[in-house]
Amino acid sequence: MKKLCMWKSLSTTRQLSHAPTTVFTTRRRTLSSSSSFDIKNVTKSNFESALKDLRGLLRDADFIAVDLEMTGVTSAPWRESFDYDRYDISYLKVKHSAEKFAVVQFGVCPFRWDSHKQSFISHPHNFYIFPRQEIPGSNQSREFLCQTASLNFLAKYQFDFNLCIREGISYLSRSQEKEALERISSIYMDESSDSMFGLSEDADFPLVRMADVLFAERMKNTIREWRDSLLSKGSSSSEIKQISTDPSQRFQMVFFKTRPGLALSDFTSRQLRVIKAVTKKHFKDLAYIRVAGEATSPQQLIVYTDSNDDRDLLMKEVKDGLRKEAEMKVESAVGFRHVIDLLLSERKLIVGHNCFLDVAHMYSKFIGPLPSTTEDYVSSLQKLFPSIVDTKILLNANGVFRQTLNKSNTSLSRAFVSICPHIALGIKTSSLADRPCVEVEVQVDEKRSSNWNSGAKHEAGYDAFMTGCIFAQACNHLGIDFTLHVLGGDLAKDTKLQNYINRLYLSWGSGNVIDLSSGKCTPDSSASSNLKSRYQDISFPSIILLWGLPSKLKAREIRACIAQAFGPNSVSSVYHLDESAVFIQFSKPELVSKFLEMKETLSRNSDPISVLHPLSNILNGEYTHAATYDVYQQICSSSISKKLFADQAEAIGIKYKTVSSRGDRGKKGNQVCDKETEVRMFDAKADDLMSSYGFSETDRSAESFYLDEVLARK
């Protein structure tokens, strides 16, 4: 789903180099609606059996293709991928997306080379997942955003939302599992049985209502009758049971751990608290316990113990049982994360298409909170997934692929049709007759097929299959001998792949490539030569951020106003984040501080000179704010999501009108006061300066250009 029409596509190119030909044979098929693609759809009902089979398939795989479908990509227009995004900003936007949106489908497709058939055998799995809360009382948040365009996109390709919500497999991340187990450990670590079972607070349960007093007395008599019958030497077990079982079945005689007891049924929670208090206060040889029942709610019991040691032993047994039950619930709640654990343990080559966002989702959903910096994230990710290939990088790195894909579009479906036409179309074309091909079969359970349905695209399992086919075909063009590789044991170590391993596009719309092995981020050289961008020469120290602008202000109008104040060549470019904010890149870094100081001065003055100043046309009084690029990083790092950038800045406390890169940022509160003093001093100096040249107060509006020059030099 990361190929939404709303995304900015990279104008990048792809690559193919000639290699020995491997014959590709597929059955011709018709592209009718009745054609189907064999795929393993997995929900919670068949997850356990599918996981068992997948374990062996991943162990035998030569590489594993993955793809994710999500509920959205960006929570606001200004969080989309821009040319003006520095690499750390790109990561923050991906991080925010992965944290805010849900994954609803996860495609896993292992590929294994069959040396006898000289073909790949693929096993596409399409997992429906849904982040429901499986552990009662846990603090895990299960809220997520939905982007209407994304949901409409999924619906267009017949995504089954009902199946996902009803039957989707839940999951816990590693950090959530650890937190849940630590919480269980802290609860059951207390050696005090009373504290453990909440008896201490219920022993002093206040009987403030007359109904509680009467009910407590009635329960005391009933429990005493049952207890006395137990201690009566002449009573048989049948007599005891008859005495202790009331007609309404609210008390039932049971044996727990060979001890006689009463099972309590159909009482309200308040009544149970009263019974618990009565038992604790009046019966030293009876223990009130809660144990796991057959239903979701625990079973309440009153159990007879013949000594203090026996009571302590009973409580320990109950405690251990409850702890084991709680740990089993956590283990069961791990759910789909078992698939991720398999991927991590096998350490096989992972293949995705434009997959940096996919991998971030995998980390956020199944590992733990994403690190706050790119460097920490890359370092942690490399330890988890030692070998990742982005097929978009692979396609953009070869001239033959770029030519095949018309030098522009590397979306997954287009790349699949162009690179693997025999699979995508089921036909051979004359233009592709001399192209090296590799055969791929699909196996689901015991059924093998070479019938594909391209209408299934944007279903995660099918997209993972397409990704793997593209990678296999690209490897074949690079001259990789799969048979030799199988004997060698690790495709990721092939020398012909080393230039593509662990190099990912940093965002869904960025030409920057990050090397996971080194942590370095560089522009994609293969893309930049063909990328027709208006912003090729970006200097971040020369950029300011301006927000809270007058409505419907165009870029050319902003440029014209600044040019009047700083000269015709002062602005390199103006770029809108949204309707409320723009980037302004100056031709020289020193113009940034001059603009911020001039803007600060003008915003604190309402005299005729300030009103007539050229910059006043793009300023909106106290509502307009300006800052250096570093403040953009601060705003992007916030988890708050506001539609307009101006509202976002205000929501996280960026309310000061001008932010400069100079000085101590920890003193911004005092900076505003200092600025007020500085502006007053400057106004006085300006008046003195003009008076020395013979200008009166009434002459200032007529000589505004001169004052502009003075302001610009300050």
pLDDT for the residue 599: 86
Q: What is the mean pLDDT of residues 374-401?
A: 91
Compute the average pLDDT of residues 693-711.
36
**pLDDT tier, 139 (very low <50, low <70, confident <90, very high otherwise):** low
Q: What does residue 391 show for φ and ψ, rounded to 5 degrees?
A: -65, -25
Spatial CB neighbours of 191, under 8 Å, sequence gap ≥ 6: none
pLDDT, mean of residues 409-427: 82
Q: What is the DSSP letter of 616?
A: G
Phi, psi of 345 (to 5 degrees): -75, -35
pLDDT on residue 28: 29
CB 167 within 8 A of CB 44: yes
How far is Cα 405 from Cα 399, in angstroms, rounded to an integer?
A: 10
Q: Are the beta carbons of 448 and 441 closer than 8 angstroms?
A: yes
Across 59-63, 180-184, 410-414, 468-472, least confident range: 410-414
Arithmetic mean of pLDDT, 326-331: 91
**Chain segment 362-374, per-residue pLDDT in tens:** 999 999 999 999 9
Match 């233009």 to its residue by tokens. 431
Q: Across all residues in the chain, what is the average pLDDT? A: 80
Q: Cα dihedral sign for 407, 410, 411, 413?
A: positive
DSSP state of 121: E
CB atoms within 10 A of CB 9: 15
pLDDT at 552: 81
Query: Which of 30-44, 224-238, 594-608 is predicted with the least confidence, judged by mean pLDDT?
Result: 30-44
pLDDT score, position 3: 43
pLDDT of residue 247: 54
Task: Give the range among 360-374, 398-412, 526-540 with minimum mean pLDDT.
Answer: 526-540
Evaluate whether 563 touches 571 at the Cβ level (below 8 Å). yes
Reported confidence tier of residue 108, pLDDT bands at 50, 70, 90:
very high
Place of tokens 């300030």: 610
- Give residue-wise pLDDT tens across range 25-45: 333 232 333 345 788 999 999
- CA of 414: how far to CAs of 425, 497, 654, in Å? 12, 23, 44
Average pLDDT over residues 464-478: 93
* For the chain, the helix, strand and coil percentages under 3-state DSSP, each to the nearest 5: 45, 15, 35
Q: Mean of the pLDDT values across residues 331-345?
A: 96
Q: What is the mean pLDDT of residues 640-659?
A: 82
What is the predicted pLDDT for the residue at 44?
A: 96
User: What are the φ and ψ backbone dihedral angles of 125, each rounded to 5 degrees?
Assistant: -120, 135
What are the pLDDT digits (tens) for 262-300? 999 989 989 999 999 999 999 999 999 988 766 557 789
Q: Which pLDDT band, with edges at 50, 70 and 90, does 631 fall under?
A: very high
Give 433's pLDDT tier (boundaries 50, 70, 90): very low
555-570: pLDDT as tens digits: 999 999 999 999 999 9
* 441 burial type by CB count under 10 A (0-12 exposed, 13-18 middle, 19+ buried): middle
Mean pLDDT value of segment 134-158: 83
Q: Could you tell me the CA-to-CA distances from 401 to 472, 541, 552, 696 in Å, in that order?
A: 14, 37, 43, 72
In which element (H, E) is residue 254 found? strand 251-256
SS3 490: coil
**What is the rounded distance in angstroms from the CA atom of residue 108 to the CA atom of residue 340?**
10
Among 179-188, 197-206, 479-488, the range scoring the smallest mean pLDDT is 197-206
140-170 burial: b if 16+ Cβ within 10 Å, else e: eeeeebebeebeebbeeeebbeeebeebbbb
Q: What pLDDT is attached to residue 684?
A: 47
- Residue-wise pLDDT for 704-713, tens only, equals 333 344 333 3
β-partners of residue 549 are none
Using only C-alpha atoms, the chain has a radius of gyration, in whole angstroms, of 35
pLDDT, one tens digit per residue, over 632-643 is: 999 999 999 899
Strands (E), 296-396: 299-304, 349-352, 388-390
Position 296 scores a pLDDT of 58
Residue 340: per-residue pLDDT: 98
Average of per-residue pLDDT across 339-353: 96
pLDDT of residue 405 exceeding 90, the answer is no
User: Between 573 and 620, whose confidence is greater?
Assistant: 573
CA distance linking residue 503 with residue 387, whole number of Å: 10
pLDDT at 243 exceeding the cut of 70:
no
DSSP string, 664-713: -GGGHHHHHHHHHHHHHHHHHHHHHHHHHTT--GGGTTTTHHHHHHHHHH
CA 220 from centre of chain: 55
- Mean pLDDT over 224-232 rounds to 90
Rounded to whole angstroms, the Cα distance separating 12 from 406 reads 10
pLDDT attached to residue 124: 95
* Paired sense of beta strands 63-70 and 349-352, if any: parallel
